[in-house]
Structure 1
Amino acid sequence: MLPRLRSDWKSLALLEICHRSFGELKQIHARLLVSGGIQDYYAAGKLISSLTNIDFQYALLVFRSLEHPPTTFLWNTLIGAHTSQNQPITALSLYSQMLASGRHPNNYTFSFTLRSCIALSSLPVGQQLHTQIDKLGWQHYDFVQNGLIHFYASCGCIDFAHKLFNLCRHRDVVTWTAMVNGYLKSGQIDVANMIFEKMPDRNAVSWSTMITAYAGIGRFQEALDVFHEMQLAGVEPNHAGIVGTLSACGFLGALDQGKWIHTFLERKGMKLDKVLGTALIDMYAKCGFIHSAKQVFDEMTERDVFAYTSMISGFSNHGQSEKAVELFAEMEEEGIKPNEVTFICVLSACSRIGLVELGKHFFKSMTKDYGIKPGVEHYGCMVDLLARAESIDEAWKLVRDMPIEPDSYVLGALLNACRIHGRLDAGKGIVDRLVELGLDHGGVHVLLSNMYASSFRWEDVRRVRRAMEENEVRKVPGCSMIEIDGKPCEFVAGDLSDQHIDVIVWTIKGMDKQLKSIGDDTFNI
């Protein structure tokens, strides 16, 4: 280890101050060169670490200009910085150079290099590192054990990761969370939850991991349940947990819970970044509060394509298609490139208000201006747009000319148009096509039956209904959700369970309160 007698402590004090500019760091470098403090491993490490946040090439230049061979600390500083800045290939290249220079890695080195292997999903390189870890005796250190478990789990070797987990002498919250993450990535969410329930300690990361996982696969009620448990445990949610919970609130219509989170963000003074802002916009829009969604959108200092898309979608779904189209134009003026979902939202908006020519323009612009190949959803929007404008033949031609197989959404939009405009023969042909594709759910046959009924073709109605019975085709019952005392409740048509009855009673009582508030006390339960 090099002596630290020549350190320039005034320069080191300056390096401790965060967010220094490149020019200031170069001045500090010059001062260290003049004083000789640059040869102190600690001073050089601090300078290199600061430089890697601004200019990697200059940091490498300083590193390679050192008179004495770099210590393991200096190598780790440079490798760790490249790992943190998402440059895993450079980090591993520096590790190879470190070995070639004769320096031995330590537990911190392997913590960084394993993270680089995870970023690259490189199983062979990680296995080589594991061999070196065993040879050098670092396998029992906490950082290294957790890194190995996380690495193997991330690469799909969940059984081997669990084997290492069982061999751990000291399991901390990071070890447990790495195992939970591994099972989640392998699609075994119930196993992950079992491990989560066994955790002796949980932090914000472990709680948020489960919330995000449940929200990501559509198990939104379970995501909210985990969030409630986290609140009872006295753990404050982190960024990822908040985003996952807001997503669940939006899909379940849990407005009270979503508003609580918004208040929590304001109370904690958390910056409304692009991700949190978009999550709030999406939540408010899905819960029916489009005005609140627009307020959040306007408050955002930075907006990306996801924020614009969520707001455009919200306007479109709330019958404000003109505002959706205007916002799309504003987005283009801002130089923000729309994505596939943005075009689905704006085409849907055009369809709702009958802007046929503008819709055609957007559809062509996808490929011409942005190089986006239309998907089946975009064709579905165009078919719906043309069908609503009574251009059934043009819609049919678009479906026939599609370069991809039409799905139930595309053909369903066309079938609905045939019902509205009385095109029975065309509707029968579409149903036959849906049957061929195996997309003939109950609603399709009911729609055809209603089309025949509207034209008083009762024999055809009986034939469709009889075929449904023979083939055991059932219409999926309608499903609704309502929030009661801050908790989302789901019920379906025809459900006579206690929960369903409670929901009905709660709704009627709410109506009773409203009537009483205007002086009508004739409605009592």
Structure 2
Amino acid sequence: MLKYLKCSYRVLSLLNKPHLELTHLHQIQSHLITSGAISDPFAAGKLISSLVSLDHSHAYAVFLRLPHKSTYLWNTILRSFVEKKDSHNALSVYKMMMCCGFLPNNYTFSFVLRGCVEIGDVGFGLLCHAQVIKLGWECYDFVQNGLIHFYVSCDLMRCARMLFDVSLNRDVVTWTAVLNGYVKSGEIAAAKELFDRMAERNVVSWSVMINGYVKVGCFKEALEIFKEMQMSGVRPNHAAIVGALSACGSLGAFDQGKWIHAYVDRSKMELDTVLGTALIDMYAKCGSVEVACRVFEEMPCRDVYAFTALISGLSNHGNSAMAVELLKRMDDEGIKPNEVTFMCILSACARVGLVDEGLRVFESMTSIYGIKPGVQHYGCLVDLLGRAGLLEQAKVVVRDMPMQPDIYVLGALLNACRVHGDADLGKEMVKGLINHGLDHSGVHVLLSNIYASADQWDHVERVRKGMVEKEVIKVPGCSLIEVGGVVVEFVAGDRSHAHMEEIESFWIQNDMHLKSLSLDSHILLS
């Protein structure tokens, strides 16, 4: 018998060989069963570990029939379910383990917490945390890290920060997890405070901070972090590059965007759909539509986001016909447009008055692509009709909408009233906006402009007085300009710029020069 068992353990050594096929594993399993070696948890563990990667369901069935189990075996099955993204069964296995009298160890909790994160089961995660404390595993580094990741993933940042602050061995991964949690929840100030305290930063930490600033619209700060990252000697990764390009596009920082593109080429980074779309978006927003088209054509693979970015760019720069053509090209390449694609196409049609084409596109959303138009699409349709002077048709669209019109829909009709001088309909639209609680400065300014266009100055005065009485504050206008690779922001009424006097002097002289040229032209013509 002893000799037979020794032979069985020699058979186990075969499990260490690479490229084993399932039939071989079944033969080894049969040998272990007939020899009785399957009762040894070590032998069973070796077999189960090999089986789970090739035939998970069979491995689980063998596991359930084992006469003797160990914590290692339970952990092996737990991990296999988590790695297969079947966390519901993983948590069921954990409950079964507890019912069978097996105490979990630190490895067990790392798998269970990953399962809780995947399915968002906060209650079970809190229960696990209680068991961690009860069994004395809370001082182990990767158990603490697992708990911190769990709380961060479930947006429980207060709990995550409490654990983080008492943790004695925090590595860069733990720091970055908490940093990412703050960014996800929009707490950019807390993220920056933590980022500044990090003794060690990896490329993920930097990219998280860059994209965090982009997420909350702090584009200048995002580029400053990107520059600081390079100065620290850290090579930007894919995520950092995409975030920086997004910031450049939003700021119109063309020179910096071109430099980043050159860096991508020098580094031979793959022009995948995400990076390609970011470049298209940046060039289009910076006014270089030709380069955006070139990047689009150079992409080895294009998806709906790349098409939509280029359609949006073409539409914003007056190339509406090309934008509409791209929708047909999407059909040819078998790429289905999404809701945003249709918003961009409808906006393109509205800008150049392609009413029939726009109506056809709107109709095709449901009839061809099976996409139910949203309130934004109705806003684009109203804008299309309104710009073309078809105010009554636009009014019918607003009246017959299957959902409540929002500020974009009513605002589009109000703007059409301004363009075409329909003061009565404009006043009616303003009442609708006020009834919807959308009584902001832009609405009053539009109504004032409508009355001014109709030479109804007494009404203009009433609107202005009403704004004062209601304490409606007009948001000041602002503009951005890139000088020497640095983006400078100017806000109406703000004189805080260091060179404001020189700037004003230049514009006064420029204005006087233009007036003199205009006067000279008038004299010559007369």
For the superposition of Structure 1 and Structure 2, which TM-score range results when normalised by the shorter chain?
Answer: 0.7 to 0.9
Query: Which amino acid in 1 is paired with 2:375?
Result: V
1:180 pairs with 2:215: no
Tell me the secondary structure at the aligned position of residue 424 of structure 2. Answer: helix
Match of 1:331 in 2: 330
User: CA separation in 2, counterparts of 1:201 and 1:506?
Assistant: 48
Return the alpha-carbon distance in structure 2 between the equivalents of residues 91 and 104 of structure 1.
Answer: 16
* CA distance in structure 1 between the aligned counterparts of 2:328 and 2:506, rounded to whole angstroms: 42
Q: Show CA shifts across 1:280-326 (max 9, x none).
A: 22222212222222222223333332222212211211211112111
Moved more, 139-148 or 352-361: 352-361
Residue-by-residue CA offset, 1:434-462 (whole Å, 9 max, x unaligned): 34434344444344334333343343344
Distance in 1 separating the partners of 2:505 and 2:72: 66
- Find the aligned partners of 1:343 and 1:478 in 2 and give their Cα distance: 29
* TM superposition shift of 1:31: 9.1
Which runs of 5 or more structure 1 residues have no equivalent in the other structure? 16-23, 52-57, 512-525
Distance 1:227 1:234 in 2: 11
The question of whether the paired residues in 1 share the 8 Å contact of 2:48 and 2:59 is answered with: no
CA–CA separation in structure 2 for the residues paired with 1:499 and 1:404: 50
CA contact (8 A) 2:281 2:313 kept: yes
2:484 is the counterpart of 1:485: yes
Q: How many residues align?
A: 493
Is 1:87 the equivalent of 2:86? yes
Relative distance call for 1:249 and 1:355 in structure 2 (3 A) is same
CA contact (8 A) 2:186 2:216 kept: no
1:383-398 alignment, distance < 5 Å: 383-398=382-397
Determine the structure 1 residue equivalent to 2:57.
60
Q: Which moved more, 1:377-386 or 1:498-507?
A: 498-507
Distance 1:398 1:366 in 2: 16
Structure 1 counterpart of 2:118: 119
Q: Is the 8 A contact 1:41 1:71 kept in 2?
A: no
Partner of 2:220: 221
Q: Do the aligned residues in 2 keep the contact of 1:253 with 1:482 (CA within 8 Å)?
A: yes
Deviates more, 1:152-161 or 1:65-74: 65-74
3-state DSSP of counterpart to 1:312:
helix
Distance 1:498 1:184, change over 3 A: closer
Question: Structure 2 matches for 1:202-213, cutoff 5 A?
Answer: 202-213=201-212
2:361 equivalent to 1:362: yes
Structure 2 residues without counterparts, runs of 5 or longer? 1-5, 33-37, 511-526
Alignment RMSD, CA only? 3.5
CA apart distance, 1:274: 2.3
Amino acid at match of 1:128: L
- Flag the structure with larger Rg: 2
Counterpart AA for 2:57: L
What amino acid sits opposite 2:459 in the alignment? D
Counterpart Cα distance in 2 of 1:266 and 1:50: 39
Query: What letter corresponds to residue 253 of structure 1 in structure 2?
Result: G
Specify the alignment match of 2:319 in structure 1: 320
Instruction: Give the whole-Å Cα distance in 2 for the aligned partners of 1:260 and 1:77.
Output: 49
Q: Which amino acid aligns with 2:301?
A: E
Q: How does 1:396-435 map to 2 (within 5 A)?
A: 396-435=395-434
Alignment partners' CA distance in 1, 2:378 and 2:498: 41
User: Structure 1 pair 503/273, CA: closer, same or farther in 2 (3 Å)?
Assistant: farther
CA–CA separation in structure 2 for the residues paired with 1:159 and 1:201: 23
Aligned twin of 1:249: 248
CA distance in 2, matches of 1:232, 1:238: 15
In structure 2, distance between residues paired with 1:239 and 1:76: 35
- The secondary structure found in structure 2 opposite 1:228 is helix
Partners of 1:480 and 1:458 in 2: CA distance: 30
Question: How do residues 343-382 of structure 1 correspond to structure 2 at under 5 angstroms?
Answer: 343-382=342-381
* Residues 92-143 of structure 1: CA deviation (Å, up to 9, x unaligned): 3444455567765443332222112112121221123223333443322211
Residues in 2 aligned to 1:253 and 1:13: alpha-carbon distance in whole angstroms:
58
TM-score, normalised to structure 2, is 0.81
1:76 Cα deviation from its structure 2 partner = 4.4
Corresponding letter in the other structure for 2:224: D
Deviation per CA, 1:327-347: give whole Å up to 9, x if none. Answer: 112223333332221111111
SS of corresponding position for 1:338: coil
Deviations 1:185-219 (A, max 9, x none): 44433223222222221212222222222211222
C-alpha displacement of 1:473: 4.1
Moved more, 426-435 or 97-106: 97-106
- Secondary structure in structure 2 of the residue aligned to 1:498: coil
Q: CA deviation at 1:382?
A: 0.5
**Is the deviation greater in 311-320 or in 107-116?**
107-116
Question: What is residue 259 of structure 1 aligned with on the other side?
Answer: 258
Matches of 1:502 and 1:244, distance apart in 2 = 35
User: In the alignment, residue 296 of structure 1 is paired with which amino acid?
Assistant: V
Please say if 1:271 is aligned against 2:270.
yes
Shift of residue 421 of structure 1? 2.4
Alpha-carbon offset, residue 6 of structure 1: 3.8
